[in-house]
Chains A and B, each alone.
Chain A
Amino acid sequence: GAGVSQSPRYKVAKRGQDVALRCDPISGHVSLFWYQQALGQGPEFLTYFQNEAQLDKSGLPSDRFFAERPEGSVSTLKIQRTQQEDSAVYLCASSLGHGQGHYGYTFGSGTRLTVV
């Protein structure tokens, strides 16, 4: 596709429910990032993939958060036993990767998660 696609756009989850958020990066983009953006705040880094390898997961706030990119393309961010503090917009971004000298990301429109 022309851009980074995220689904669903909106998700309402009951506290304690598990959710899965999907990201389709731009075709051929090696690097994929997940960010969490709380209301009125800047995005905060969660995790980074280069192809299928998860190279940095230092931003994941707890072991309830898990991300995967098994074939080096589509990625899924899973949140188990959701809590109210997980309510945020989850942004996915992709780039050609540092090996190409391209540092700029393209972000998707995000998934707005509301935990009730």
Chain B
Amino acid sequence: QQQVKQSPQSLIVQKGGISIINCAYENTAFDYFPWYQQFPGKGPALLIAIRPDVSEKKEGRFTISFNKSAKQFSLHIMDSQPGDSATYFCAASKGAQKLVFGQGTRLTINP
């Protein structure tokens, strides 16, 4: 059972543009929603995370938008740079327990 669905599978954005990746979840008990960034040969690195009591969280160029009623959340990368080219994973967990990951989005920023 795929509890977290992520789209798109791949995304190409021009330098300076906005990258948007979407996720939907099923389990209403989830209360922690992080985004991870992964470069080839490396483990995932925590980028930004949100709890369901807020609708938006911003850290630098990265913003999470959260819609509890729709059970959806998204990552927005403003002013996308070639260095942002990586695979991005959304995830969800109940408390500090195991994370359930989405399938990943391969983001390419063209210079």
Chain A residues in contact with chain B, CB under 8 A?
4, 31, 33, 40-45, 48, 56, 59, 91, 93, 95, 97-98, 102-110
Contact = CB atoms under 8 A, between A and B. Distances in A.
B43 interface: yes
Given A105-B46, A107-B45, A42 B89 contact: yes
Contacts of B6: 42
Contacts, number: 57
Interface residues of B, number: 24
Given A40-B104, A42-B104, A103-B32, A56 B97 contact: yes
Contacts of A107: 36, 43-45
A98 B89 contact: no
Contacts of B99: 33, 43, 45, 105
